[in-house]
A and B are shown apart, each in its own frame.
Chain A
Amino acid sequence: DAKTTQPTSMDCAEGRAANLPCNHSTISGNEYVYWYRQIHSQGPQYIIHGLKNNETNEMASLIITEDRKSSTLILPHATLRDTAVYYCIVRSNSGYALNFGKGTSLLVTP
């Protein structure tokens, strides 16, 4: 599976949009982009995933560039409860494991 690169940490003001970038320049055609988050001491939580097209659900939006070498997770109105480590994972659907890297530690401030 392709490797991903994310900033170590980011801050966001409560109520503003949080835009979390992820680089995956070696992604191949059959690999999906997944986003998970882990709130302190809890189990990871699935957020969203996509292949080529932008995706939106009740939690977030995922914007994937046309060349698929990078993506951005958008939390449209961040709340204090969105403070967590966010993981961008690239995975093909022929594999089994999700490989979590170090992620981005997002701090939402009042």
Chain B
Amino acid sequence: NAGVMQNPRHLVRRRGQEARLRCSPMKGHSHVYWYRQLPEEGLKFMVYLQKENIIDESGMPKERFSAEFPKEGPSILRIQQVVRGDSAAYFCASSTADHTGELFFGEGSRLTVL
């Protein structure tokens, strides 16, 4: 039973380019969370999605960042016009149910902006 799959594991972008990070939740999970971890810092919640719905985006930067979880396919975190400060590890987690604190995390996608 595969866990949460994230790709790419490592992504290098130049300033101004776009970054797309993908997350396939565990089988049977319909709830997806995205977290960001800056170097030497803790994990910060970004957004919580269910299929075709953004439920809580209180941690998302107001500009350049967007997330979706379509009916078919993985969840996508999109960062437009990346800047050096976007360099971080981005973790996706999934769960079976609403309001549960038991999340299953992927191994993360590490974005480096040159």
Contacts and interface: CB of A to CB of B under 8 A. Distances in A.
Given A43-B91, A93-B100, A95-B99, A100 B105 contact: no
A102 B43 CA distance: 9
Contact of A99 (B45, B48, B99, B108): B45
Nearest to B6: A43
Given A100-B43, A102-B42, 16 more contacts: A34-B102, A38-B43, A42-B108, A43-B107, A44-B103, A44-B105, A46-B103, A49-B101, A93-B101, A96-B98, A97-B33, A97-B45, A98-B33, A98-B45, A98-B103, A100-B44
Place the interface of chain B in its size category.
Answer: 20 to 34
B48 A96 contact: yes
Interface in B50-90: 55-56, 58-59, 89
A106 interface: no
Contacts of B48: 96-97
Contacts of A98: 33, 45, 101, 103
Contact of A91 (B42, B98, B101, B107): B101
Most interface-central of A43, A93, A94, A100 (chain B CB within 10 A): A43
Nearest to A31: B101
